[in-house]
Amino acid sequence: MVQIAFYTFAALSLSGGLAVLFTRNVIYAAFFLLLTLLGVAGLFVLASADFLAVAQLMIYVGGVLVLVIFGVMLTNKTDPVADASSQQPNRIASQNRSTGWVISALVAGSLFAALFTLLARANFALLNQPVGWQSTVNTIGRQLMTEYVVPFEIVGILLLAALVGATYLASPLAKSFRNATR
pLDDT in tens, 156-179: 999 899 988 888 877 776 667 667
CATH 2.60.120.200 given to domain 1-76: no
Please say if the pLDDT value at position 89 is more than 60: no
> Mean pLDDT throughout 58-85?
72
**Interval 7-51: pLDDT, tens:** 999 999 999 999 999 998 888 888 899 899 999 999 998 888 888
Question: What gap in Å lies between CA 137 and CA 58, rounded to an integer?
Answer: 14
Three-state SS for the chain is CHHHHHHHHHHHHHHHHHHHHHCCCHHHHHHHHHHHHHHHHHHHHHCCCHHHHHHHHHHHHHHHHHHHHHHHHHHCCCCCCCCHHHHCCCHHHHHHHHHHHHHHHHHHHHHHHHHHHHHHHCCCHHHHCCCCCCCHHHHHHHHHHCCCHHHHHHHHHHHHHHHHHHHHHHCHHHHHHHHHCC
| pTM confidence score | 0.54
Q: Please state, as a whole number, how many other Cβ atoms lie within 10 Å of the Cβ of residue 21.
A: 9
Residue 96 binned pLDDT confidence (cut-offs 50, 70, 90): low
Alpha carbons 173 and 93: distance in angstroms, whole number: 49
Task: Compare 130 and 74 and report the one with higher pLDDT.
Answer: 74
- At 22 the pLDDT is 92
State how far the Cα of 95 lies from the Cα of 99, in Å rounded to an integer: 6
